[in-house]
C-alpha cells in the first residue's frame, strides 16, 4: 500500500480506499488475505480509526473486501456485485462486458458539446485513435507497444457507467474511482480475465510505468488531433489544444505534439491530390501528342479515387 500524498486534495478516506484498492488489484493484497487491523491502518496512514472505517466501508460497498465477525477484514476472492447464481454460459460475463463496451460507440465526448458541435466523436472513436497514437509513441519511447495499446484501448472503459464528464462539470460532479467501476464491470468474468482488465485500469490511473505515461500522453495527443480537425471546421478549440499540450509528460509526447501543431489535418492526402493533378495534366499532354482514344480521356477525367 502507498502512504497518503500530502499534495492530494481528495478526502483522506478516499485516498486510503484508493491505496488499498490499488494494492488489491496489483496483487499486493491477495484474494482471501487479511487486511491489517484498523489500528495498524490508522497508524500507517496517520489518520483516525473513524477515517479508516469510512475507507473500509467504501471498499466493502464496492465489493473488494468482506468483514468476518470476530476475525477481521479480508480481501474477497473476486471483487463482485450481486449477480445471478447461475449463468447460461461460463463466458456469459465476458459477453456482457463486450456488449457494454459497445455502448462507448454511442457515448459522446462531452467536452466538444460546449463548442456547439452537434455530433461530436464518440468515446469509442477517441479510444481507437488513442491506441494508434500510443503505439506510435511506444515505438519512439522504447515502451512495450502491446501493453501501451491495451492501456489506451481500455483507458475509458468506466465511461459506460460514469459517462464522459466535461471539464466544467468536474468541480461539481463526483464519480466512482475508475478502478472500482472496472471491478464491477468485470465482476461476472472468469477471475484471470477480470484481473487483466482491472490491472490495466490500475496501471493507467497510477501513471507510474513508462507504458502508462505513454498511454496518458496518447490520450492528450488524440484530443490535440481532434481539436485541430474541429478547428479546421471553424470551431475555436484553442483551450483544448493548450491544456492537452500542457498535460504531456514524456519528451516524445511533446515532440509529437509540436509535429501535430505544425501539420494540417488534410496534409496526409493533399500530396496525393497534387500528384494526381500533375499526372492528369501530363497525361493530357501525351494524349494531345499521340491522339489516344476516348477511353483514356474518360479515365483521366474521373475524380481522384474513382479509378479501377
CA dist., res. 42 & res. 45, Å (int)? 5
Q: Is the pLDDT of residue 20 over 80?
A: yes
Burial 267-299 (b: 16+ CB within 10 A, else e): eeeeeeeeeeeeeeeeeeeeeeeeeeeeeeeee
Lowest mean pLDDT among 90-94, 179-183, 269-273: 269-273
Q: What is the mean pLDDT of residues 156-183?
A: 91
Decide if pLDDT at 5 tops 90.
no
Q: What is the pLDDT of residue 2?
A: 86
**What's residue 89's pLDDT?**
77
CA dihedral of residues 231, 234, 237, 242 (deg, nearest 10): 50
The lowest-confidence range among 19-28, 269-278, 291-300 is 291-300
Q: Are 59 and 17 in contact (CB under 8 A)?
A: yes
pLDDT band at 276 (very low <50, low <70, confident <90, very high): confident
| pLDDT for the residue 64 | 87
In this prediction, residue 289 carries a pLDDT of: 67
What number is the average pLDDT over the span 132-159? Answer: 97
User: Which pLDDT does position 13 carry in this prediction?
Assistant: 93
Mean pLDDT of the chain, nearest integer: 87
Taking a C-beta distance cutoff of 8 angstroms, is the pair 110, 123 a contact?
no
| HEC string for 187-238 | CCCCHHHHHHHHHHHHHHHHCCCHHHHHHHHHHHHHHHHHHHHHHHCCCCCH
Sequence-distant (6+) residues with CB within 8 A of 51 are 12, 13, 16, 42, 45
The residue behind cell 464496492 is 62
Residue 144 grid cell: 512495450
Q: What is the pLDDT of residues 83-92, one digit of tens each?
A: 445 546 778 8
Instruction: List, for residues 199-244, the tens digit of each pLDDT value.
Output: 999 999 999 999 999 999 999 999 999 999 999 999 999 999 999 9
Do 19 and 2 contact (CB within 8 A), yes or no? yes
Amino acid at each position: 500500500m502507498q502512504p497518503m500524498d500530502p499534495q492530494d486534495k481528495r478526502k483522506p478516506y478516499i485516498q486510503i480506499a484508493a491505496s488499498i484498492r490499488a494494492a488489491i488489484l496489483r496483487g499486493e493484497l491477495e484474494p482471501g488475505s487479511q487486511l491489517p487491523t484498523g489500528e495498524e491502518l490508522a497508524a500507517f496512514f496517520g489518520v483516525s480509526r473513524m477515517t479508516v472505517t469510512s475507507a473500509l466501508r467504501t471498499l466493502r460497498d464496492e465489493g473488494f473486501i468482506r468483514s468476518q465477525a470476530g476475525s477481521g477484514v479480508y480481501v474477497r476472492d473476486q471483487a463482485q456485485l450481486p449477480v445471478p447464481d447461475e449463468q447460461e454460459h461460463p463466458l456469459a460475463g465476458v459477453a456482457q462486458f463486450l456488449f457494454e463496451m459497445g455502448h462507448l460507440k454511442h457515448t459522446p465526448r462531452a467536452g466538444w458539446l460546449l463548442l456547439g458541435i452537434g455530433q461530436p466523436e464518440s468515446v469509442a472513436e477517441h479510444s481507437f485513435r488513442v491506441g494508434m497514437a500510443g503505439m506510435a509513441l511506444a515505438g519512439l519511447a522504447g515502451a512495450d507497444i502491446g501493453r501501451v495499446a491495451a492501456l489506451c484501448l481500455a483507458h475509458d472503459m468506466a465511461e459506460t457507467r460514469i459517462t464522459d464528464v466535461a471539464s466544467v462539470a468536474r468541480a461539481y460532479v463526483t464519480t466512482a474511482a475508475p478502478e472500482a467501476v472496472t471491478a464491477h464491470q468485470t465482476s461476472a468474468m472468469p477471475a484471470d480475465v477480470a484481473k487483466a482488465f482491472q490491472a490495466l485500469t490500475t496501471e493507467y490511473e497510477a501513471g507510474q510505468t513508462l507504458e502508462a505515461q505513454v498511454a496518458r500522453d496518447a490520450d492528450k495527443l488524440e484530443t490535440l488531433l481532434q481539436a485541430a480537425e474541429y478547428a479546421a471546421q471553424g470551431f475555436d478549440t484553442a483551450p483544448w489544444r493548450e491544456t492537452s499540450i500542457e498535460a504531456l509528460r514524456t519528451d516524445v509526447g511533446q515532440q509529437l505534439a509540436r509535429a501535430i501543431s505544425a501539420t494540417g489535418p488534410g496534409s496526409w492526402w493533399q500530396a496525393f491530390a497534387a500528384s494526381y493533378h500533375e499526372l492528369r495534366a501530363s497525361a493530357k499532354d501525351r494524349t494531345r501528342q499521340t491522339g489516344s482514344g476516348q477511353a483514356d480521356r474518360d479515365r483521366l477525367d474521373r475524380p481522384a479515387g474513382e479509378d479501377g
